[in-house]
Structure 1
C-alpha cells in the first residue's frame, strides 16, 4: 500500500567545478538544521553522480505537505538554500508524491 500523506522534496544540483566538497558540507549543515527544527522530516539523502562528480540529487521525505510548506516558508530555509545555490551553476527543486513501489 502506498502512503498517501508522505510528500517528497527533491533537488537537482550542478555544482561549480572545484566546489563539490564545500557543497556537500553546506547541504549537510542545511539538513542538520532542518532535522533539528522540524520533527516532520523523514529521511534526507544527497546522492552524487559517479560519472559527473558535480551532479548531485537531494531527496527528502516529509510527513505532510503542510510541514514541507512550513519549512520552505522560513527565512532560515531561504538563507541555507541560497548558501548551497551559491556554489552551483544550476539548480532545480520540486515537490513530489509517490507514484509506485516495487
Structure 2
C-alpha cells in the first residue's frame, strides 16, 4: 500500500504567491527526478497563509530517497525564504477507498 508525504506550510504574510511559485518549482524538480511522482498543494480557506501539500509514494524508502535528493533540497531552498514554519509528515492509509 502506498505511503503519503504531507507538509504543513505556514507562509510569511504577503509571500503566498512567491511560495506557490516556489512550490511549483519543487514539484517540477520532483517530477523530473522521480517520474510518475504526483502532488497536490491546497490552501486553507480560513487561514490564507497556511498550505497543505500531499502526494503518494510507492514506499517509505522511495519517499526517503526523494527527501534526501538534490531535487528536494534545491526545491526546498527556493521555498525557505517564503515560510515561517514547515512540518513534514509521513502518512499511511488505514481506511477508505482508492
Assess same fold via TM > 0.5: yes
Q: Could you tell me how far apart the structure 2 residues matched to 1:66 and 1:53 are?
A: 33
Is 1:24 equivalent to 2:29 in the alignment? no
**What is the aligned counterpart of 1:49 among 30, 44, 52?**
44
**25-34 vs 61-70, which deviates more?**
61-70
Aligned length: 97
1:84 alignment partner in structure 2: 79
Deviation at 1:49, TM superposition (A): 0.8
RMSD of aligned residue pairs (Cα, Å):
1.4
Shift of 1:54: 0.2
The aligned residue for residue 14 of structure 1 is: 10
Q: Structure 1 unaligned runs (5+)?
A: none
The list of structure 1 runs, each at least 4 consecutive aligned residues, that deviate by more than 2 angstroms after superposition, is none
Deviation for aligned residue 1:85: 2.5
Taking structure 2 as the reference length, what is the TM-score of the superposition? 0.90
Quickly say closer, same or farther: Cα 1:71–1:33, change in 2 above 3 A.
same
Task: Give distance in 1, aligned partners of 2:5 and 2:15.
Answer: 23
> What CA deviation, in whole Å up to 9, does each residue of 1:69-92 have, x standing for no partner?
111111331222132122111110
Offset of residue 67 of structure 1? 1.4
